[in-house]
Every structure is written in structure tokens, then in C-alpha cells.
Amino acid sequence: MLQDLDYGRLENEFRNIYPADEDIVVCFRGNTALVHRNGDNELQLPTYKDVLAWAAVNNWESWNENKTQYVFRLQDVNYFIWWGEGGESGDPSYAYESTMTLRQVISKNIAFGIMTAWHLFDWYRSNRFCGRCGAKTVHDGKERMMRCPECNNMIFPKIAPSVIVGVTHGDRLLLSKYANRNYTRYGMIAGFTEIGETVEETVQREVMEEVGLKVKNIRYYKTQPWGVTGGLLLGYYCDLDGDDETVTLDQNELAMAEFYPRNALPAHDDGISLTREMVRVFEEGREPTGEASV
Ligand SMILES: [Zn+2]
């Protein structure tokens, strides 16, 4: 999966530091990031030195006088985000590319870094002002938190849990396709956890809402941070409760949903997404069988 880095792990402990010249600065504009893509489809990100020079010449906007914010460390390099909407680089080898398509590049480490930086960037930019009293917020120096100096509101990073569900019926797995989306490949039932419900209840509710099926024997598989949607995906398998496979499709959400035999699944692991890994694990008959937890 995307977060399974071939070089250590993303070190995301909070540090209150300023960038050095060669540190990376991820610059976002809308939901695009400024990247250099070489002939081998490898990505490079600009350094602090580059970005400062571009920002000075092209009058980049910044929401904060410090201009950059430390986010994490990856492959022994500190990553910062630009505190504002990125401007023009003036370097024709750099271009803004969609964060949705960047995950399909070869350099998985950097793609994961950009996606995670995006999650933090989106949180920072959405909390420049206090949602309670409207005052300008300030950075806390000890942990990743924005604080309101007027009413002491403490704002911590927001992560939305959501489920990916592999509904099985004996030797068959339910695959689906979204309706009305750019993403047209096979997926599985998915949805965000609502306030006040357990994740197991999310699994049951989403399957019922999207395909009208009752499920049992819900068992946990793995999680995946998914910064593009500000989420944390929780993968679960479960069994169809009963033998009736009749799908009642929520046509606002899905274009199709159908059970496929283990030896003829039309989707395969892409090394990126939890959904795809779960399809492969089922294909290989290695999915957790578990005791009934619900
Ligand atoms: Zn406030």
C-alpha cells in the first residue's frame, strides 16, 4: 500500500523548527501540488531555497509571517508546507499536479509524503480562524494544535475514520463501481463513520445503504491513512447474512455491485490502495476468518 514505504517510516512527531535551505517545501494550489517530474516518472519537490526565491519574485501569498510550517520528516529530510496558496515558480520544469493523480507515480514515498502534507495543509488552512469566536488562531509551540488567543479554543488535527468493506459469501467477494465519479475502476463498499456509531455499525449500515444486504461476522483487516480525503480507512471483511445475494443498489452512490468468484476477480492489487490489497488477500484465500464479533 502507499504508506508501506521502502525507506523507514514517516516521522510525524511534532517539532517546532524553521527550514534549512535544502529542506523540502510542499506548495499547494487548490488541490494540486507543485512538482518536478523527470523522464523516469520520478517526482521531485522544491527546496526551501527555491521556494523563497520564487515567492519573492512572483509575490506568493502567505497567511503567516513565517511563510512555512514544518509537517514531518521523510527519508532523513524535513518537509514543510508553504503557508498559503502556491504561486508561479518561474521554473518551467515544475508544474502543479492534482493530488488525486500523484499517487499513481513510481515514487511512492514522495506521493505518500505529498498526500500526508496535503491532509495537514488542508487542516491548517481551515483553522486560521477560531470557529467559536472568529479570532485569528495561533500555533501552539509544543504540539500540533492551533489555539485561539481570545477564547482558548484548542483545535487539533482532524482525521475522519471510514470503512472499506469486503463482503464475502463463501468463495465470492462483492465488488462495486461508483456512480458519477471520475474513478471508474472496481472498488468495494465504503463510507465514513457517523458520530455515535461503532466502526462495526458503520460496516453494517454502509452495506445496507449501498446494496441492501445484511452482513455478519465482521472482522478487522488493516488501516490506511488517506490524506486526500482527510481520512483513515479501516478495512473489514464480513459475511453475507443468509443466502440471498439480491442487491438493491443505491444508484446515487453506485453504478453496479456484484459477487465475483475468488478465482475470477476482475480487480487486482495496485500496491497503492487498501481496497486493492484486500481483493488480493481474498484472491489468495488469506483473509481473516475470525470469530463472530457482531
Ligand atoms: Zn476563539
Find the angle CA(195)-CA(142)-CA(126) to the nearest 5 degrees.
45
What is the CA(136)–ligand 1 centre distance, in A? 8
Q: What is the per-residue pLDDT for 106?
A: 63
Topology agreement, domain 1-126 and domain 160-283:
yes
Sign of the dihedral through C-alpha 260, 263, 265, 271: positive
Task: Report the pLDDT averaged over residues 26-49.
Answer: 89
Q: Give the span between the Cα atoms of 70 and 114, in whole angstroms.
A: 13
Cell of 258: 456484484
Q: Give the span between the Cα atoms of 73 and 260, in whole angstroms.
A: 42
What is the CA(65)–ligand 1 centre distance, in A? 21
What is the CA(284)–ligand 1 centre distance, in A? 53
pTM above 0.75, yes or no: yes
Q: Which fold has domain 1-126?
A: Nucleoside Triphosphate Pyrophosphohydrolase (3.90.79)
**81-90: per-residue pLDDT in tens?**
999 999 999 8
Domain coordinates in residue numbering, the chain: 1-126, 128-157, 160-283
Instruction: Kindly report the CATH number that applies to the domain delimited by 160-283.
Output: 3.90.79.10
Report CA 135 to chain centroid distance, whole Å.
Answer: 29
**242-278: per-residue pLDDT in tens?**
999 999 999 998 999 999 999 999 988 888 899 999 9
Q: What is the per-residue pLDDT for 77?
A: 92
What is the CA(157)–ligand 1 centre distance, in A? 16
Question: Over 60: is that where the pLDDT of 10 sits?
Answer: yes
What is the CA(66)–ligand 1 centre distance, in A? 22
